[in-house]
Amino acid sequence: MTSTSSGRYEQLLKDYQTEYRPQREWSEGRGFYLIVGHFLVGVAAGAWLFGLFFQDLISLLAGFVLAGLGGLAHLANLARPERFILMMLRTATSWVSRGFWGLTLFLVGSVIYLPSLMFTDTFWQSDSVIASAGVAISIAGSIIMMAYMGFVYTASKAIPFWNSTLHPVLYISYALRGGAAAYLLSLAFQGEAVAGGSDILVFWIAVTATVIVLWLFEIQGALTSGEEAAVRSVHDILAGRLALYFYVGILLIGLFVPVFLMAGIIAPLSPTLFAIIGLSSVAGDFFMKFSSIKAGIFMPVRLQSGNTRRATRRRKI
Amino acid sequence: MRWGMVIDLKRCIGCYGCQLSCKAENGTPPGVFFARVHKQEEGQYPTAQTTFLPVLCNHCDDPPCVDVCPTGASFVWEDDGIVDIDADKCVGCRSCMLACPYSQRFLNDEPRNYYGEQGATPYEEARVQRHQTGVVMKCNFCRDRVRNGQDPACVENCPTIARYFGDLDDPKSEVSRLIRERSGFPLHPEKGTNPNVYYLPA
């Protein structure tokens, strides 16, 4: 039996005494697993699509394993994980439910397709109808996986910083950036980085530029939304409790290090360098998701100033 | 029929009677508050003023918490419009907590009691322990009481009669009349949730 003196309870009471209450549901305690889950699932979907496009088995396997781990992280986020199957019930309105279906489709499709590549003599051929069906199912699943996360945040009406219509596009861009990074790692692992990696580097630069532009629009939207909670979220990221993650994790590790290495300033491009670029890009994506989720602040529940003014005026009369 | 509540801010004295009676009625564990009272201070000395804002689930006509729920655990009773939770279906994903613009949902994440190492009191054994852990909880307008013809506990126990409960679909009901005659307003209408809890200006 736990008493009221537990840290979480004290924290809750403290939070309720502040006007701008940071969300902890999806970032602390078991909520941290959701950040991990969203990160892994995004990279998995991107890696799978790149693997299919370039017919790269390592990327495909990485996508499958990461999606499985992401699914487990999602389960760990639930307070009642034993009831997870019920999450399939509300696809009509719930993006969490749709995401669950996306992950399920992805895993089913990849389980159908991967054996055709790995065990050519044992199972069906990679150009068979069954394998093609697996590919189609997995692509549908990975597209849902990439998109659903952004919609989940957008649907969270209590957190003004997340109420951006750009969020889904941003999360799709993260997933593609993660996929490009995973493919770079795969090439580095195979020692083919220099030969096959230049195209992917160009793609990485393009998608990173897209992420930066979208992110700037999102910040601008938050600052001009008229929602003080959203402004505080931006402040937390740029100059507050999350600034370290932003400047070191996102900008330095996730952006400057890869760009610096790509420019070939330290050393000529090599598999090792490509691996470092891939890893730092993925790490930057994690910090990006971590800080934007952690920066969520609940909109305050209060009387609007018009109502209070009207009340004051009546009292004087 | 659409149950709704009107809270008269002119009458509220911030006694927390609603919060306590709600806890007594529903046996909510520590950290779970179906009814709360916010103290809101405005202005500066010597013209500062404190407003008490009692809050509870707004039982919205378009509840975002129901839309985001992946299992159907959050639902609206069709016959009276009350937003409720089926604890047996809740997976504890907490999406609804982040969707509710009024912050009126709470996760009962672990067994807790009010008296620390002493363990649960007989009262807590009887009332608090009946709630499932790992699920989200919220006010349901004391639906069992309402179905028995009683008012919700917070309405019944408000010492200043600051709370009114009734059918918002009935234009002759007291709640409808108060909203009409005293310019009742909901909280955060800009969120498009169409709340069924209204406030009368102080």
Check if A6 contacts B (Cβ < 8 Å): yes
Would you say A290 and A253 are in contact if contact means Cβ atoms under 8 Å apart? Answer: no
A304 pLDDT higher than 90: no
For residue B63, what pLDDT is reported?
97
Kindly report the backbone phi and psi dihedral angles of residue B84, in degrees, each rounded to the nearest multiple of 5, phi listed first. -135, 170
* Chain B residue with minimum CA distance to A16: B38
* pLDDT band, residue A33 (cuts 50/70/90): very high
For residues A55-67, give the mean pLDDT: 95
For residue A192, what pLDDT is reported?
67
HEC readout, B102-144: CCCCEEECCCEECCHHHCCCHHHHHHHHHCCCCEEECCCCCHH
Would you say A286 and A39 are in contact if contact means Cβ atoms under 8 Å apart? Answer: yes
Contact assignment for A157 to B117 by CB distance below 8 Å: no
Contact assignment for A314 to B193 by CB distance below 8 Å: no
For residue B97, what pLDDT is reported?
97
The total of other beta-carbon atoms located within 10 Å of residue B115's CB is 12
Q: Which residue shows structure tokens 């009349």?
A: B177
Contact assignment for B113 to A3 by CB distance below 8 Å: yes
* Chain B residue with minimum CA distance to A9: B31
Residues of B in contact with A97 (CB under 8 A): 70-71
Does A235 or B112 have the greater pLDDT score?
A235
Residue A10, both tokens: 């004290």
Contact assignment for B193 to A157 by CB distance below 8 Å: yes
* pLDDT band, residue B118 (cuts 50/70/90): confident
Q: To the nearest whole angstrom, how far is the Cα of B199 from the nearest Cα of chain A?
A: 9
* pLDDT band, residue A315 (cuts 50/70/90): very low
Contact assignment for B49 to A312 by CB distance below 8 Å: yes
Class of domain B3-200: alpha beta
For residue A242, what pLDDT is reported?
96
Contact assignment for A26 to B42 by CB distance below 8 Å: no
* Chain A residue with minimum CA distance to B191: A157
DSSP classification of residue B63? -
Check if A27 contacts B (Cβ < 8 Å): no
What is the tens place of the pLDDT at every residue in A151-171?
Answer: 999 999 999 999 888 999 999
Residues β-bridged to residue B42: B49
Residues of A in contact with B134 (CB under 8 A): 79-80
Would you say A193 and A283 are in contact if contact means Cβ atoms under 8 Å apart? Answer: no
What is the tens place of the pLDDT at every residue in B43-60?
Answer: 888 888 888 999 999 999
Q: To the nearest whole angstrom, how far is the Cα of B13 from the nearest Cα of chain A?
A: 15
Sheet holding B197-200, edge to edge: B163-167, B3-8, B197-200
For residue B183, what pLDDT is reported?
94
Residue B96: name the closest of B140, B138, B143, B61 by CA: B138
Distance CA B161, CA A234 (A): 42
Among the partner residues A97, A157, A310, nearest to B99 by beta-carbon distance = A157
Does A310 or B33 have the greater pLDDT score?
B33
What domains sit in chain A, N to C, each tagged with a CATH number? 21-301 (1.20.1630.10)
Residue A196: name the closest of A83, A55, A60 by CA: A55
Q: Which residue of B93, B104, B106 is the best one to mutate when testing the A interface, meaning the one whose CB has the most A CBs within 10 A? A: B93
Residues of A in contact with B67 (CB under 8 A): 93-94, 155
